[in-house]
Structure 1
Amino acid sequence: MLPTLLRTQRLVLREPRPEDAALIFEAYTQDMDVARYMVWRPHKTLRQTKNFIEGCINRWESNQSRPYILALAEREDVPIGMLDALVFSHTVDIGYVLGRQYWGAGLMPEAIVAFCDAALALPDYFRIQATCDTENLPSARTLEKSGFKREGRLERYIVHPNLGHEPRASFMYSRCK
């Protein structure tokens, strides 16, 4: 079972709460620059983000995945991003998002490293993997700074609806024990 709470020097990774929706909407779900390489379109209404958070809470409670809320350690009640972890046997697939005002501060690599260190210390998990669009160089750098190795290129892999309707190429990264 993946951890339910993680702390770093600057961050807390915690379970989602209903009251996170308004702050997440404000921080990033409505921001096209943040959503560009995501598999969802920017939210137009707070209701969309509330529905999203309700789904995250349901997935957390049913142990389908761990959609961690990222918050600054000194403001645990203010979400700034997310790291979603989905288990497939001995592999954990992660995805992540961070509000634009927090880009470039090294926060996402800090969160990813903390998560990977905790998950790979458990006996059941041997591999953490993530993909990113081949044009999303900041995300590729984030994974590399987090100790991930690029394994290859997946052609026609995933649709990013903000960039078009056809599947795009992605890089596959992993960190293993």
Structure 2
Amino acid sequence: MIHKGTKILQTDRLTLRPFKKEDYKEVYENYGFDKEVHKYISWIPYDSLEKSREFVNFNVLQYSENPKHYSWAIVYEDRIVGSIAIFNVEDNDSGELGYSLGSKWWKKGIITEAVNAVLNYAFMDVGFHRIYASCHEDNIGSKRVMQKAGMSYEGKLRDGQKNLDGSYSNLDLYSILENEFRKK
């Protein structure tokens, strides 16, 4: 793999770009504070301007220090509506895909379009071998995104997520290999 970090990616409707320090307000307003977005996740939401600022500043710092850092703001109609990233980048040429989108923009194909752009970059430009992703077992929308992207169901991670309330939830695990992506 040749790590290239987060580069601007363009699709028909989207611009996926590195975060800028001033983006924190849009992150907060458009998806950070959105209760629907946080329904199936375990991490603490960006439910305050300060948490949103910390998230954006962390990414901005990582862009300059870590070529293995892959994190994009999803820009649709000149607004940041979500984010997408590859994290847990490992020495075996694999990484974990994660994404978040404000509920106002659900069911428009935005995440599917963003996932395909990121997978294309990861496999064709960077040289990843495997990309995997997981979602709460009840998150039908996220499962559909992974399936549309050509990812295969690998199994259930029992109690794979500790929720914000301290309970546990099962996760469904999906993945795609570079050679499978090329055949799509």
TM-score by length of 2: 0.87
Structure 1: gaps spanning 5 or more residues: none
Instruction: Report the CA distance between 1:122 and its aligned residue.
Output: 3.5
Query: What is the distance in 1 between the residues matched to 2:36 and 2:126?
Result: 38
Relative to structure 1, the CA distance from residue 123 to residue 9 in structure 2 (aligned partners, 3 Å threshold; closer, same or farther) is closer
Correspondent of 2:20 among 17, 22, 25? 17
Relative to structure 1, the CA distance from residue 43 to residue 119 in structure 2 (aligned partners, 3 Å threshold; closer, same or farther) is closer
Query: What is the distance in 2 between the residues matched to 1:48 and 1:107?
Result: 24
Map of 1:1-16 to 2, 5 A cutoff?
Answer: 1-2=3-4, 3-16=6-19
Instruction: Report the CA distance between 1:58 and its aligned residue.
Output: 2.0
Instruction: Report the CA distance between 1:123 and its aligned residue.
Output: 6.1
Aligned length: 172
Deviations 1:15-74 (A, max 9, x none): 0111110011110111111111122234442112111111122223222521111002x5
Q: Which amino acid aligns with 1:23?
A: E
The runs of at least 4 consecutive aligned structure 1 residues that moved more than 6 Å come to none
Q: Which amino acid aligns with 2:71?
A: P
TM-score by length of 1: 0.90
Structure 2: gaps spanning 5 or more residues: 179-184
Question: Is structure 2 residue 170 aligned with structure 1 residue 166?
Answer: no
* 2:41–2:136 contact (8 Å) kept in structure 1: no
Query: What is the distance in 2 between the residues matched to 1:44 and 1:172?
Result: 27
Question: Is structure 2 residue 84 aligned with structure 1 residue 83?
Answer: yes
Percent of residue pairs bearing the same amino acid type:
26
- Taking only aligned residues, the RMSD between alpha carbons, in angstroms, comes to 1.6
Correspondent of 2:121 among 115, 118, 123? 118
Map of 1:30-45 to 2, 5 A cutoff?
Answer: 30-45=33-48
* 1:36–1:160 contact (8 Å) kept in structure 2: no
Map of 1:9-158 to 2, 5 A cutoff?
Answer: 9-63=12-66, 64-72=68-76, 74-75=77-78, 78-86=79-87, 87-89=89-91, 90-122=93-125, 124-158=127-161
Relative to structure 1, the CA distance from residue 123 to residue 107 in structure 2 (aligned partners, 3 Å threshold; closer, same or farther) is closer
* 2:28–2:47 contact (8 Å) kept in structure 1: no
Q: Which amino acid aligns with 1:172?
A: L
Q: Which amino acid aligns with 2:24?
A: A
